């Protein structure tokens, strides 16, 4: 019992000691405390930012940093703060930083607090390519979907990057996907088509289609130059040739060559071939490998020889058999005989021709309407629809017709010539005319002849051609010129007539009386009037008709003075041949010399009546002492006056008919009357009046 009691007492004492110690420890834990969860901080934080606050239960607690990663933290009182900015990319373990703080108090046991800090990475760095420009060489035979390069960018933020290739429509290359910048061949490459491709590779650190709101995006670019390399993958190509594509392969087909030689004649120098000399070039455009030539078939008689370097064919000897010779020529690369091509050369051995083709004319002229379309025939002339045709003769044939002659056109894109010589339009003509040259070729000998052809373009049917007449503008100009000339001519004629009338109206009237009349209307005769035998009414009428100036009348009166000579000196009357409407007295009449009774020079009228109304002339004789001369004054009635009105002319038509007599007869009548007066001694008797009814 006693032993049990001792053991019980000992257990109680130990329990008390443990309880005391546990109480002391619990009091120390309650002095300082920190959150047990990690504290998260974004990189690029603000300096002096509070990370966590230390909780204390009593005063006078001392805090000390015992572990400070990167020396980035500090204590300010009970606050754990950042004394510098944290960069996620430079921290060794940015996802968990451990900070330890010792908490001390006098009389209490010190404790250590642990703070876990996690630095959160933010997008603060752009992606970067290692180079700003990449150059790649890719041969043209690279298969499709083959990777030629993978160019990646780096981002210190360790985020996902997104790529894109520009231009997006580039047909030759593409990216494997937007997350992996693996560049693949997208299409078969051909050096002859494309020699270089330039691309731009874009990268960004945010999704291109759905970025987060407020999210910052950083991008970067680089240039990729891809050079296509030409590979020796094509044989030589004979020129000229036609290119065709079969799948991914390209082939150039040659039509071969043709030439002619004369039978039994050796031609010196290289043969002239059509369409040109033999020539082949490397099918790989940039390689330009050296080519060699040789004849592999058809030259069994060794008539021809080919130059290995140039491909020119020459003759070693004359051909002795007429007909075609077919040669096969092989062209191969000197560096690679596996790259070769073959073509045919057809050489025709012909008999010698004595006459080349010759056109019937050296120059032709044809016509075509401007509204003619393609395949319409050119016409022979303007007025018919006969087609135009050219013909060439060959005097080597008896008929002149060579069936091997073919026609062709040179220097024109408007027409074609058929094998029969008809000319057809290839397209609509938009010019007034055009010229070309027609060539006739003997296909069997190669000889040819030429002729010039001028094609005149006519307006459509119903439209007048400028060459057939004048244009509207030309006609208007011509009409204007003719009108101007007509007006000018009328002005000149009027001016000349007015000048003639002003200078000598009586002479003009005298000439008018000499013209024959039709007997239906009276002729206007000259009027000679004696003012002394006129009454007042006549004087008034005459005064109205006479001009104001009498000098003109006096001047004209003096012009009508004539001299009368004695009868025995009468000669030929030069002036009596004309028929005038006047009482004319010949100058040589001696009967017109009566002696004057009064004054020395007496003037008497020879008319029977004092006043004449039949529009005859009044003649006055002026006697002088010399009986052999009698001066006769003829006074025109219309000196300086206008012609009478139409009614006066009509009323005097009968009188004019009565006065129509010969001058010689009138003169003889006056002379006879004057002689009678001298015999009877009656000086004052007037001569009888002429018969008014006619001669």
Contact predicate 630/564, CB 8 Å: yes
- CA-angle at 110, arms to 71 and 75, nearest 5°: 30
Q: Cβ contacts of residue 74 below 8 Å, gap of 6+?
A: 65, 68, 80, 81, 82, 83
User: For the chain, what's the residue count?
Assistant: 695
Q: Is the pLDDT of residue 660 over 50?
A: no
Q: What pLDDT is stored for residue 44 in this prediction?
A: 82
SS percent in the chain: helix, strand, coil, step 5: 20, 30, 50
Q: What pLDDT is stored for residue 227 in this prediction?
A: 96
What is the three-class DSSP state of 313?
Answer: strand
What is the three-class DSSP state of 661?
Answer: coil
Nearest to 344 by CA among 466, 259, 252, 433: 259
Answer with the residue of higher pLDDT: 517 or 672. 672
Chain centroid to CA 526: how far? 78
Q: What pLDDT is stored for residue 281 in this prediction?
A: 92
Contact predicate 671/567, CB 8 Å: yes
Least confident residue range of 58-72, 341-355, 573-587: 573-587
Q: How many CB atoms lie within 10 A of CB 489?
A: 10
Beta bridge partners of 113: 101
Q: What pLDDT is stored for residue 471 in this prediction?
A: 58
Q: What pLDDT is stored for residue 665 in this prediction?
A: 54
Q: What pLDDT is stored for residue 528 in this prediction?
A: 46
How do 405-410 and 358-359 pair as beta strands?
unpaired
Q: Is the pLDDT of residue 335 over 80?
A: yes
Which secondary structure element, helix H or strand E, spans residue 241, and what is its range?
strand 241-246
Q: What pLDDT is stored for residue 13 in this prediction?
A: 64
Q: What pLDDT is stored for residue 315 in this prediction?
A: 95
Answer with the residue of higher pLDDT: 92 or 244. 244
Phi, psi of 551 (to 5 degrees): -60, -35
Structure tokens, 560: 């009508």
Q: What pLDDT is stored for residue 143 in this prediction?
A: 93
Structure tokens, 681: 């001694």
pTM recorded for the entire structure: 0.45
Beta bridge partners of 164: 202
- Determine the Cα–Cα distance for residues 149 and 155; give it in Å rounded to an integer: 20
- Highest-confidence range of 204-218, 477-491, 590-604, by mean pLDDT? 477-491
Q: What pLDDT is stored for residue 57 in this prediction?
A: 81
Answer with the residue of higher pLDDT: 361 or 515. 361
Nearest to 240 by CA among 279, 267, 201: 279
Q: Cβ contacts of residue 483 below 8 Å, gap of 6+?
A: none
Q: Taking residues 663-686, report their average pLDDT.
A: 54
Q: What pLDDT is stored for residue 608 in this prediction?
A: 43
- Determine the Cα–Cα distance for residues 438 and 409; give it in Å rounded to an integer: 5
Q: Cβ contacts of residue 596 below 8 Å, gap of 6+?
A: 602, 623, 683
- Determine the Cα–Cα distance for residues 602 and 684; give it in Å rounded to an integer: 11
Q: Is the pLDDT of residue 661 over 60?
A: no
Confidence of residue 431 (pLDDT cuts 50, 70, 90): confident
Q: What pLDDT is stored for residue 307 in this prediction?
A: 95
Burial of residue 592 (number of CB atoms within 10 Å: 0-12, 13-18, 19+) = buried
Q: Tokens 């002036």 sit at which residue?
A: 575
pLDDT per residue as tens digits for the range 353-399: 888 999 999 999 999 988 888 888 999 988 888 999 999 999 888 88
Task: Give me the chain's average pLDDT, please.
Answer: 75
pLDDT per residue as tens digits for the range 130-189: 999 999 999 999 999 999 999 999 988 877 899 999 887 789 999 999 999 999 999 999
DSSP assignment of 584-622, as one string? ---TT-GGG-PPPSSSSS-EEE--SSS---SS-B-EEEE
pLDDT per residue as tens digits for the range 609-622: 444 444 444 444 44
Q: What pLDDT is stored for residue 134 in this prediction?
A: 96
Q: How many CB atoms lie within 10 A of CB 354?
A: 9
- Whether omega before 275 lies within 30 degrees of 0, making that bond cis, reads yes
Confidence of residue 537 (pLDDT cuts 50, 70, 90): very low
Q: Taking residues 550-561, report their average pLDDT.
A: 46
Q: What pLDDT is stored for residue 485 in this prediction?
A: 93
Q: Taking residues 544-550, report their average pLDDT.
A: 45
Structure tokens, 246: 């079969």
Q: Taking residues 106-124, report their average pLDDT.
A: 85
Q: Is the pLDDT of residue 92 over 50?
A: yes
Structure tokens, 426: 């290839």
What is the three-class DSSP state of 667?
Answer: helix
Answer with the residue of higher pLDDT: 660 or 102. 102
What is the three-class DSSP state of 24?
Answer: helix
Q: Is the pLDDT of residue 463 over 90?
A: no
């Amino acid at each position: 019992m006693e032993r049990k009691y001792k053991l019980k007492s000992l257990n109680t004492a130990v329990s008390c000691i443990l309880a005391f110690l546990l109480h002391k420890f619990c009091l120390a834990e309650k002095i300082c405390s920190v959150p047990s969860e990690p504290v998260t901080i974004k990189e690029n934080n603000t300096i002096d930012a509070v990370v966590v606050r230390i909780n204390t239960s009593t005063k006078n607690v001392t805090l000390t940093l015992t572990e400070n990663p990167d020396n980035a933290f500090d204590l300010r009182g009970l606050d754990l703060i950042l004394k510098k900015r944290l960069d996620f990319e430079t921290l060794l373990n940015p996802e968990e930083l451990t900070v330890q703080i010792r908490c001390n108090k006098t009389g209490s046991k010190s404790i250590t607090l642990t703070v876990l800090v996690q630095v959160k990475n933010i997008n603060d760095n752009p992606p970067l390519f290692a180079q700003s420009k990449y150059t790649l060489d890719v041969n043209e035979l690279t298969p499709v979907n083959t990777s030629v390069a993978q160019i990646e960018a780096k981002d210190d933020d360790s985020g996902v990057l997104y790529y894109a290739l520009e231009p997006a429509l580039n047909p030759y290359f593409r990216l494997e996907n937007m997350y992996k910048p693996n560049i693949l061949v997208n299409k078969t490459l051909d050096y002859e088509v494309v020699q270089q491709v330039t691309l731009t590779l874009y990268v960004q650190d945010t999704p291109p289609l759905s970025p987060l709101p407020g999210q910052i995006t950083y991008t970067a670019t680089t240039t990729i130059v891809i050079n296509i390399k030409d590979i020796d993958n094509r044989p030589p190509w004979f020129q000229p040739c036609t290119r065709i594509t079969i799948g991914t392969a390209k082939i150039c087909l040659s039509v071969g060559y043709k030439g002619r030689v004369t039978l039994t004649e050796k031609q010196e120098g290289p043969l002239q071939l059509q369409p040109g000399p033999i020539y082949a070039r490397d099918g790989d455009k940039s390689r330009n490998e050296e080519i060699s030539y040789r004849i592999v078939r058809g030259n069994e008689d060794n008539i021809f020889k080919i130059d290995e370097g140039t491909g020119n064919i020459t003759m070693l000897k004359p051909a002795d058999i007429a007909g075609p010779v077919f040669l096969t020529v092989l062209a191969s690369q000197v560096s690679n005989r596996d790259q070769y091509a073959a073509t045919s050369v057809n050489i025709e051995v012909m008999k010698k021709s004595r006459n080349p083709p010759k056109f019937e004319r050296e120059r032709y002229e044809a016509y075509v309407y401007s509204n003619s379309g393609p395949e319409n025939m050119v016409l022979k002339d303007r007025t018919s629809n006969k087609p135009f045709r050219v013909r060439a003769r060959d005097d080597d044939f008896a008929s002149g017709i060579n069936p091997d002659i073919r026609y062709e056109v040179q220097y024109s894109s408007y027409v074609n010539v058929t094998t029969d010589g008809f000319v057809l339009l290839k397209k609509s003509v938009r010019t007034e005319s055009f010229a070309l040259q027609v060539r006739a070729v003997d296909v069997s000998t190669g000889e040819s002849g030429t002729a010039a052809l001028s094609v005149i373009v006519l307006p459509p049917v119903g439209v007048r051609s400028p060459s057939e007449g004048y244009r509207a503008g030309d006609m208007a100009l011509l009409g204007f010129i003719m009108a101007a000339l007509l007006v000018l001519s009328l002005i000149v004629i009027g001016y000349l007539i007015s000048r003639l009338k002003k200078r000598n109206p009586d002479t003009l009237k005298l000439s008018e009386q000499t013209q024959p009349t039709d007997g239906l209307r009276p002729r206007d005769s000259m009027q000679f009037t004696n003012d002394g035998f006129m009454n007042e009414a006549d004087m008034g009428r005459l005064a109205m008709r006479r001009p104001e100036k009498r000098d003109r009348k006096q001047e004209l009166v003096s012009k009508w003075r004539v001299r009368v000579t004695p009868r025995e000196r009468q000669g030929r009357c030069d002036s009596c041949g004309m028929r005038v409407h006047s009482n004319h007295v010949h100058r040589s009449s001696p009967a017109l010399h009566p002696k004057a009774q009064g004054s020395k020079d007496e003037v008497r009228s020879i008319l029977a009546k004092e006043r004449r109304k039949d529009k005859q002339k009044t003649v006055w004789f002026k006697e002088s002492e010399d009986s052999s001369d009698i001066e006769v004054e003829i006074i025109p009635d219309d000196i300086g006056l206008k012609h009478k009105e139409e009614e006066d002319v009509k009323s005097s038509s009968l009188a004019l008919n009565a006065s129509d007599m010969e001058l010689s007869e009138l003169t003889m009548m006056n002379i006879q009357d004057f002689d009678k007066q001298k015999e009877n001694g009656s000086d004052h008797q007037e001569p009888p009046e002429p018969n008014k009814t006619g001669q």
